[in-house]
Amino acid sequence: MAATSETPVQSDYRPAGDERFFLIASAVMITLIIAGFLTLYLRGISTFAAPWPVHVHAVAFMAWVGFFMLQVTLATTGRVHLHKRLGWIGAVLMPLLLTLGALILFRMMRNAAVPPFWTYAYFMTMNLMALVAFAALTTAAVRLHKRTDWHRRLMFCGMAALVVTPFNRLAPDAVLAQSMSLIPAIAILFFPLAGIAAEWLRDRRVHPAWWWGLGALILTGVTTEVVGRSPIAGDIVALITAGTPGETIDPFVQHLPQQ
C-alpha cells in the first residue's frame, strides 16, 4: 500500500482511523489463512511428505502472505518510505504465485487428487476465478499506487479473494459436501463489507474502491457457481485431464467418503 507522500517515522506513532482498520483487518485475514493451513496439517490431510511442487507453491504463497502483512504494517505505522522501497518484491511474487497456483491446480486435476467435496469442474472454476480476482484487483491497486486511498482498498480486496481457500479448509465437511464453496465465497465478502461499515460509521461516506472490490468478489462467486456447474467447465476439465488419471473422473460428480 503505497502513499502519495513520505510520512516520517515517529517512535510514538499510533495507527488511527483508516490505518487502524487496515492493520487490524489484515491481521485477522492473515490469522485465518494460517489457521486454514494448520487445520489441514492437524487433520493429517496435509503433510511434509507432499511432492516438492506442492511445497514450492506453499512457500511462495506464505511469502506473499508475509510480504502483504509487512507492507500493511509499514504503511499504517508511518514507515511509508520503506514500504515504497520494498514494492518491487510484490511485482516478483505476484506472477510467481499466479503461475504456481494454476500449475498446482492442473496437477491435482490430472493426478485425480481433487478433494472429494468438490466436483472437478467446480474446483477448477473456483480456484481460477480466485486467481483472476486476485490478479485483477492487485494489478489495479499497483497501477493506482500513487492514489493511496484506492491502492490500499484494492490491495485489501485482492488479498480477500485468496482467502476463499483458507475458508474452505476451515469450513465443516458437511457444509462443503452440501454446497461446495458457496458459504466460503460469501464469507470472504465480510472483509470489504467490514471496510464499508467502518468507513460509514467513521466518515458517513464510503470510498468507491470498496464497491469495486466487493463487486469483483461477488462476480467471482457468481461465476464459480454458474460456470463451475456448466458444460463449458466440463469441456475445459476434459482438455486439461486428457491422457491422465484425472480423465476417468466425472467432472460433475462429488466423490464423497462413504459413511
Which sequence spans correspond to the domains of the chain? 18-248
Q: Assign 52 a pLDDT band (cuts: 50, 70, 90).
A: confident
What is the structure's pLDDT at 15? 47
- % of the chain with per-residue pLDDT over 70: 90
pLDDT at residue 16, as a whole number: 53
Q: What is the grid cell recorded at 186?
A: 460469501
| Residue 127: per-residue pLDDT | 97
Q: How many residues does the chain have?
A: 259
C-alpha cell at 7: 510520512
Return the pLDDT at 9: 41
pLDDT at residue number 78? 86
Write the single-letter amino acid at 172: P
pLDDT value, residue 53: 83
pLDDT at 44 over 80: no
Query: Residue 244 carries which DSSP code?
Result: S
Q: Is the pLDDT of residue 83 over 80?
A: yes
Confidence bin at 50 (pLDDT 50/70/90): confident
DSSP label at residue 246: G
Cβ proximity of 171 and 40 under 8 Å: no
> Tell me, what's the pLDDT at 123?
97
pTM here?
0.88
- Mapped onto helix, strand or coil, the DSSP state of residue 206 is coil
Query: pLDDT band at 37, cuts 50/70/90?
Result: confident
What pLDDT, on a 0 to 100 scale, did the predictor assign at position 258? 63
Q: What ranges make up the beta strands (E) of the chain?
A: none
**CB-based contact 163:19 (threshold 8 Å):** no
Averaged confidence pLDDT in the chain:
90
Range 84-95 average pLDDT:
92
What DSSP string runs through 145-174? TTSHHHHHHHHHHHHHHHTHHHHHHHS-HH
- Give the confidence band of 256 by pLDDT, cuts at 50, 70, 90: confident
